[in-house]
């Protein structure tokens, strides 16, 4: 079974799109500390992953494919 590191995907997506933690926090109405926690998570709910992928203008598959970038 292959595991996908969602935090790594988020870090890569933010780097590709030049998105700051505060920008993401403001969009999702959370504190920047929560975004830092997301960036360090290895997994999270599918619903949240979908929302984050959409924020970055990516499909779910494109977003989780960022794990291969090893960013």
- CA dist 37 and 68 (Å) reads 21
The domain of 23 spans 6-69
Identify the pLDDT of residue 68. 82
Residue 27 lies in a domain: yes
Residue 69 confidence (pLDDT): 63
What is the structure's pLDDT at 70?
Answer: 53
Q: What is the pLDDT of residue 21?
A: 97
Containing 60, the helix (H) or strand (E) segment is: helix 60-65
Tens-digit pLDDT profile for the chain (71 aa)?
Answer: 678 899 999 999 999 999 999 999 999 999 999 999 999 998 899 999 999 999 999 999 999 999 886 54
Give the count of domains, the chain: 1
Q: Look at residue 48 and tell me if it is in a domain.
A: yes
Q: Taking Cα atoms as reference points, which of 5, 12, 2 lies closest to residue 43?
A: 5
| Pairwise CA distance, residues 10 & 38, whole Å | 8
Six-digit token pair at 63? 């977003």
Nearest alpha carbon to residue 49 among 2, 16, 20, 13: 13
1 located within any domain: no
CATH of the domain at 60: 1.10.260
């Amino acid at each position: 079974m292959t595991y996908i590191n969602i935090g790594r995907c988020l870090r890569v997506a933010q780097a590709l799109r030049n998105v700051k933690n505060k920008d993401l926090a403001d969009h999702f109405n959370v504190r920047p500390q929560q975004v830092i926690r997301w960036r360090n998570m290895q997994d999270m709910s599918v619903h949240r992953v979908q929302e984050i992928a959409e924020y970055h203008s990516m499909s779910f598959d494109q977003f989780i494919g960022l794990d291969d970038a090893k960013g």
